Amino acid sequence: MPQTPSLLPVNPVEAPVHPLIAARYSPTRYADREVPPEVLQRVLEAARWAPSSYNRQPWYFLVTTRGHEGYTRLLRTLSPYNQKWAQSAPVLILGCAQDEDDRGPNRYAEHDLGLASALLALQAVAEGLATRFMAGFDKDAARQAFAVPAAYRPWTVIALGYPAADADPHAKPRTRKAYADFVGWNAWGATPPFAPPQGNETAAK
């Protein structure tokens, strides 16, 4: 098993959490360093073991690596802003959800893709990598570029790589909603007993 690198907490967490969570952030600058195939395998293995409704595992990750035609095709589907920074990432991944299989429609496919993506992101941190998820891309263009089957829907593009040495996770305030804004305690709108009097109101990556 690989050794988890020394992790520095960059998130101002209000309760002790696993170091992988406290260290996860979404940079827009990546080091000029390729990700070895065995490291990518471990990242994808983490996604492979995500839970899913009825164990349908409705995710598909199309991995593209810099220097290959697929990478260029996927990069071109991104919005102009995302293209500008994402080209520094050595790996771009198209995340798709299988909305229908031989059991019929799957209403939880996107939810389960999210679970798999979250595990992928945490394993990336364990490997010394970072991820940034993008909604800003042309889904139809991605479908056409890779002949994505009709049963699958492109949902996200994930930039993955080793963060650049000058990628400052503190460049923007790292804040989250207050507990009272997303947790109800035994009733909707009831404040949890551990909620501080005031919390962070603004969500950030």
pLDDT tens digits, residue range 148-188?
999 999 999 999 999 999 888 877 888 899 999 999 999 99
The string of DSSP letters for 60-109 reads EEEEEETTSHHHHHHHHTB-HHHHHHHTTSSEEEEEEEE-EETTEE-TTH
Query: Hey, what are 18's tokens?
Result: 């696993």
Strand partners, 93: 63, 158
Output DSSP code: residue 194.
Answer: T
Of 196, 162, 160, nearest to 181 by C-alpha is 196
Give the model's pLDDT for residue 203. Answer: 43
Q: How far is CA 6 from CA 24, 36, 127, 144, in A?
A: 13, 20, 10, 41
Give the model's pLDDT for residue 168. Answer: 80
Q: What is the pLDDT of residues 18-69, one digit of tens each?
A: 999 999 999 999 999 999 999 999 999 999 999 999 999 999 999 999 999 9
Of 61, 180, 79, 198, nearest to 139 by C-alpha is 79
Strand partners, 137: 78
Rounded Cα distance between 67 and 50, Å, is: 30
Give the model's pLDDT for residue 60. Answer: 98
For 94-118, letters b (16+ CB in 10 Å) and e give bbbbbbeeeeeebebbbebbbbbbb
pTM of the model: 0.92
